[in-house]
């Protein structure tokens, strides 16, 4: 199952870098990059922190993509 996200879009709305978001949610820039590119699935806590930072519901940032078989 693929976890899709709109973190890059949300960052663009706030004109912020991966490093700036990483600092706000207390992770590395590499973690944000890995989440954005789908290489890393964040914990529930981190997902909630990211959504709360952007002031949106969790489902507006993260959603399950189509399953690839």
What CATH number should be reported for the domain holding residue 39?
A: 1.10.260.40
**pTM attached to this predicted model:** 0.89
55: left (phi over 0), alpha (psi -120 to 50) or beta: left
- Is 48 among the domain residues? yes
- Is 34 among the domain residues? yes
Overall average pLDDT of the 39-50 stretch: 96
Overall average pLDDT of the 22-35 stretch: 98
How many structural domains does the chain have?
Answer: 1
- Structural domain that includes position 54: 3-62
- Is 68 among the domain residues? no
- Is 15 among the domain residues? yes
Overall average pLDDT of the 55-63 stretch: 96
- Please, what's the b/e burial string for 17-41 (b: 16 or more CB within 10 A of its CB; e: otherwise)? ebeebbeebebeeebbbebbeeeee
Residue 42 has pLDDT above 70, yes or no: yes
Residue 69 has pLDDT above 60, yes or no: no
- Is 67 among the domain residues? no
């Amino acid at each position: 199952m693929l976890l899709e996200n709109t973190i890059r879009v949300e960052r663009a709305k706030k004109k912020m870098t991966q490093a700036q978001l990483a600092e706000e949610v207390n992770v590395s820039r590499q973690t944000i990059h890995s989440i954005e590119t789908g290489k890393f699935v964040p914990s529930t806590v981190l997902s909630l922190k990211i959504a709360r930072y952007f002031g949106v519901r969790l489902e507006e940032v993260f959603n399950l993509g189509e399953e690839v078989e």
